[in-house]
Amino acid sequence: MNRWTNVKLIWMKELRSLKRDKKALLTIFLPILIYPVIMMFFFGVSSLVEGNLGEETRRIAYVGTVSSDIQEVVESDEKIQVVDINNQSEESAINESLVDVVIRETQSNDAKALSINYNSTIDGSNRGKNLVLSLLKEHKEKLILESVQALDYEQSVLELVSIETVEVTEESSTNRVIASVLGVVAPFILIMYSVIGIYSITSDLSAGEKERFTLETIFSVPVPKEDIIIGKLFAGVSVGLLSGITNILSMFPIAYAIASMIPDISVSFNPLLPIYILIMLLPVMFLACAVMLGCGLFAKTYQEAQTYGAFVMMAFMLPGYIGMVPDIEYSTLIAFLPVTNAMLAMREAFIGDFPLLQIAITLVFNCLLSVVSIALMAKVFTSESVIFGSPKTFFLKRKSIKGGAHE
């Protein structure tokens, strides 16, 4: 009980000093401001682009004889403008942007074929192709429908096969897809920003304190060193959590804006989902925080600690990105890959899946790793040589340590 009070004391002390540090708070709460700005920016630009695209004309050219009904259909769209490419080859005319799309009609085996020439690397040409293609497909469907109706059979040839899809869960398929997308994106943001949040504070908790020479002051209070570092660990994890949750919450306006564009959306989740996610998240965060604190303790200056922290952060981001790979499966093997395993566990939970074996492996393995890293970190922290001396003597053989008493 007594030890817990110590840890809590240090924990609260660190959080209080963070609260006093307006700039650190700014970094953590910046997303609240930044996400809406990004959102406005992107929506603004894309609506602008769409507006421009809507007005732009597409230049098409015919090569050889193209049947009049096809010409009529293509030119029915106001945005289409027919130009002449005078004997120039289709390819060069398109590549020199004289024309966006060239239509050529050929007759083979009694069937009429229309080839649409375009260049996929030129945006204008690509969009022109899409426009022509949609016009022609629409026309084709109309033709088929007309001739089928003219047949006047009891059974329509177009309705020989009917296909219906049934969702095995109670939800609609849109909602299921959205849930699966959320399951990939939300855990990623949560883990990444939690790690970034931890990164932003651990340098200060470790090397920063060294630099300010306040470690000695802390050591002079009657609290075991282990309790101090555990307190710091808790402080780091709380900041990481705060940062992750802030980021997730500030995504809400964006998510809301997108959701309002999709009709009939009502994604509902198990009310216990946040708690499950927290359980998955915490071991990863303790692991990240312990590793970063431990590395930070080796550093002499705040800046140096930031550099080490950046590497650790990258080491955590890579498995995070792997968790985003669309086809990756939450297999027994991958359950042993830290960070990725937690992300995949969360992903499965979003679509209502709880594979017990993998979850157990994930939890046990991540907890084990974080306990080991915490123990290592505590060892570093209690090592005089790392904290106050030259880091060179740490981990070296005893033989190479000079005996000081003789001199």
Q: Closest separation between CB of residue 1 and other proteins, Å?
A: 35
259 binds other proteins (CB under 8 A): no
Q: In this complex, which beta carbon is closest to other proteins, that of residue 8 or of residue 104?
A: 104
3-state secondary structure of 296: helix
Query: Which tokens sit at 73?
Result: 């259909």
Nearest distance in Å: CB 13, other proteins? 18
What tokens appear for 241 in the block? 């959590």
Residues 6-45 that bind other proteins (CB under 8 A): 21, 23-24, 26-27, 30, 34, 38, 41-42, 45
| Backbone torsions φ then ψ of 100, nearest 5 degrees | -90, -45
116-121 long-range CB contacts below 8 Å, 24 or more apart? 117/90, 117/91, 118/94, 119/94, 119/95
Question: How far apart (Å, rounded) are the C-alpha atoms in residues 315 and 317?
Answer: 6
334 Cβ contact partners less than 8 Å away, ≥ 6 residues apart: 328, 340, 341, 344
Which own/partner pairs from 72-78 qualify as long-range (CB within 8 Å, at least 24 positions apart)?
A: 73/135, 73/136, 73/139, 74/103, 74/132, 74/135, 74/136, 76/135, 77/131, 77/135
What does the alpha-carbon distance between residue 201 and residue 225 come to, in Å, rounded to a whole number?
20
Residue 399, token pair as written in the block: 């033989």
**Rounded least distance, CB 358 to other proteins, Å:** 12
Interface pick for other proteins out of 314, 356, 357, 405 (rule CB under 8 A): 314
Site for other proteins in 171-230 (CB under 8 A): 171, 173, 176-177, 179-180, 200, 204, 208
Give the span between the Cα atoms of 378 and 351, in whole angstroms. Answer: 39
Q: Centre a 10 Å sphere on the Cβ of residue 287 and count the other Cβ atoms it contains.
A: 24
Of 75, 84, 138, 167, the residue at the interface with other proteins (CB under 8 A) is 167
Minimum Å gap between C-beta 290 and other proteins is: 22
Q: How far is the CB of 87 from other proteins (least distance, A)?
A: 17
Task: Out of 9, 83, 116, 218, point to the residue binding other proteins (CB under 8 A).
Answer: 116
Which residue type occupies 353? Answer: D
Q: Considering the complex, what minimum distance in angstroms separates the CB of residue 175 from other proteins? A: 8
Out of 123, 252, 273, 354, point to the residue binding other proteins (CB under 8 A): 123
Q: How many residues bind other proteins (CB under 8 A)?
A: 89
Stretch that binds other proteins, among 80-88, 248-256, 304-312, 387-395 (CB under 8 A): 304-312
**Whole-number Å distance between alpha carbons of 334 and 349:** 16
Residues 364-403 binding other proteins (CB under 8 A) are none
Task: Write the single-letter amino acid at 267.
Answer: V
Which position has the token pair 């790392």? Answer: 386
Q: How far is the CB of 23 from other proteins (least distance, A)?
A: 4
Length of the chain: 407
Kindly identify the residues of this chain, within the stretch 125-154, that bind other proteins according to CB under 8 A. Answer: 127, 129, 133, 136-137, 140, 143-144, 147-148, 151, 153
Shortest CB 398 distance to other proteins, Å: 28
Cβ distance to other proteins smaller for residue 34 or 278: 34
Q: Should residue 75 be labelled a site residue for other proteins when binding is judged by CB under 8 A?
A: no
Of the residues 20, 64, 68, 110, which one makes contact with other proteins according to CB under 8 A: 110
> Using CB under 8 A, which of 12, 32, 113, 272 touches other proteins?
113
